[in-house]
């Protein structure tokens, strides 16, 4: 089953809690605090597996969680780190944050991507020992791991995409110029999933061609199969548009050409800028007048134009050579750059509650919605810090701290971010 889109939930491991412990040893007075730190939670890591070609596995499992870090213990023993959870996806998978639609990663290369970072382990009580606080009877809990609702979207990595109405010969072409073996028959929609074929040009040179399932009028609005697979056209460097030269099914090939291009633009206007080579297939079924009409129309529009009879491999060699030569002038396959997830999105929540706990003049603030803002902010950056301060004020956290009796110089601890309070 070919599946090229899936929605899943991922949750990195929580950090382990720090320990409250005191050294007790015979003949050693006031041994002092010796609680260990909690271990870091496991990350959620995505990696490319070139043996995968579909997202079908994600139809049956929708939730992925990495192990938590272990809690610290006495004797300054730190908790064990949670193991990373590795999720394999096909090459070309786009990872998006579900609510904003922002691209988190394009899994086209071989580099792993940490989609959700594990929470940091909490500090044991030795970290809170000071000259005036020699017996700290508290430790710090670990921070929760990141969790996201994400969308996986497979966009095939192909240099060339074959376009055209059903039954114009796309599958036949890819079968004679590559080792791909698509289903070929004299009826519509024999190809119901994209088919990739590697076209060899000799001496280690090759390119990847994709047979995109037949498009029809209305594909951009979800008619037929084309709407499901138009996203795979977006990465292609070059489009080869095949028309039925003889109009054997009662359609005008020029009308077919214009209808398909209109559907591409409706789906994504940038597709209008993709270079195209036009091929009139089934030339054996067309009259000289029909072939001349097509040549005059397409060359007059500025397209490279070729004719072929794909089943007997006639005319395919000049076409493939033209495709190869054209590819040498085009930029590489598109890689999508990561996008920032808008921090304002995390403020727009119905639950903006928070809690404040005071221990020996340390003010611990917890708020799940605020955690994601901290995790996604660079608090060493002045603008990010200013934004974070505005959030603390607008959410009422600063006022609540003042009500709790905080004084200038007291420590505020918000998960793994700490600062001295300044009024």
Task: Classify 102 in phi/psi space as left (phi over 0), alpha (psi -120 to 50) or beta.
Answer: beta
Token pair for 125: 């009580």
- Say if CB 9 and CB 63 are below 8 A apart: yes
Hunting for tokens 């139809």 — which residue is that? 59
For residues 187 and 248, the model is more confident at: 248
Residue 377's pLDDT is what? Answer: 81
Helices (H) and strands (E) in the chain, counts: 9, 18
CB neighbours of 261 closer than 8 A, spacing ≥ 6? 241, 272
Task: Give the integer Cα–Cα distance in Å for 76 and 357.
Answer: 25
pTM of the model: 0.77
Residue 212: is its pLDDT beyond 60? yes
pLDDT one-digit tens code per residue, 352-389:
789 998 888 889 998 888 888 888 888 788 888 888 88
Helix (H, G, I), strand (E, B) or coil at 179: coil
**Complete domains list, the chain, with CATH:** 1-155 (2.70.210.12), 160-327 (3.40.50.300), 343-423 (3.30.300.350)
* 389: β partners: none
pLDDT for residue 104 is more than 60: yes
Running DSSP on this structure, what letter comes out for residue 332? P
Of 153-157, 213-217, 336-340, 383-387, the poorest mean pLDDT is in: 213-217
Q: Which residue has the higher pLDDT, 419 or 81?
A: 81
- Alpha-carbon 18 to chain mean position: 34
As a whole number of angstroms, the distance between CA 254 and CA 203 comes to 38
Dihedral sign of CA atoms 159, 163, 168, 171 in order? positive
User: Which of helix, strand or coil describes residue 209?
Assistant: strand
What is the structure's pLDDT at 154? Answer: 87
């Amino acid at each position: 089953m070919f599946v090229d889109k899936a929605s899943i939930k991922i949750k990195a491991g929580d950090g382990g809690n720090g320990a409250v412990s005191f050294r007790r040893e015979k003949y050693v007075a006031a041994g002092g605090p010796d609680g260990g730190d909690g271990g870091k939670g496991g990350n959620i890591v995505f990696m490319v597996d070139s043996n995968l070609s579909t997202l079908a596995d994600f139809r049956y499992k929708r939730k992925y969680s990495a192990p938590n870090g272990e809690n610290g213990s006495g004797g300054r023993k730190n908790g064990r780190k949670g193991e990373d959870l590795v999720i394999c996806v096909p090459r070309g998978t786009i990872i998006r944050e579900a609510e904003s639609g922002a691209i988190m990663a394009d899994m086209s290369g071989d580099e792993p991507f940490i989609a959700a970072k594990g929470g940091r382990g909490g500090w044991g009580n030795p970290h809170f020992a000071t000259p005036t606080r020699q017996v700290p009877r508290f430790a710090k809990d670990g921070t929760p791991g990141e969790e996201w609702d994400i969308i996986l979207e497979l966009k095939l990595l192909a240099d060339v995409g074959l376009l055209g109405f059903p039954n114009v010969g796309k599958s036949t072409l890819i079968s004679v110029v590559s080792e791909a073996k698509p289903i070929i028959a004299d009826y519509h929609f024999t190809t119901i999933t994209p088919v990739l074929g590697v076209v060899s040009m000799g001496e280690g040179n090759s390119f990847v061609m994709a047979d995109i399932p037949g498009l029809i009028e209305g594909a951009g609005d979800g008619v037929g199969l084309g709407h499901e697979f138009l996203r795979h056209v977006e990465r292609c460097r070059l489009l080869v548009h095949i028309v039925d030269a003889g109009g054997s099914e009662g359609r005008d090939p020029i009308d077919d050409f214009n209808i398909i291009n209109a559907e591409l633009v409706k789906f994504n206007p940038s597709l209008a800028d993709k270079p195209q080579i036009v091929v009139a297939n089934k030339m054996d079924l067309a009259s000289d007048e029909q072939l001349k009409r097509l040549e005059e129309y397409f060359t007059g529009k500025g397209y490279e134009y070729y004719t072929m009879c794909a089943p007997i491999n006639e005319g395919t060699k000049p076409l493939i050579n033209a495709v190869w030569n054209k590819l040498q002038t085009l930029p590489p396959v598109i890689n999508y750059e990561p996008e920032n997830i808008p921090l304002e999105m995390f403020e727009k929540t119905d639950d903006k509650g928070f809690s404040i706990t005071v221990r020996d003049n340390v003010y611990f603030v917890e708020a799940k919605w605020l955690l994601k803002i901290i995790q996604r902010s660079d608090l060493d950056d002045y603008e990010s810090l200013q934004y974070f301060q505005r959030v603390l004020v607008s959410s009422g956290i600063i006022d609540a701290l003042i009500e709790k009796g905080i004084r200038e110089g007291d420590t505020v601890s918000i998960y793994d971010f700490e600062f001295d309070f300044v009024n």
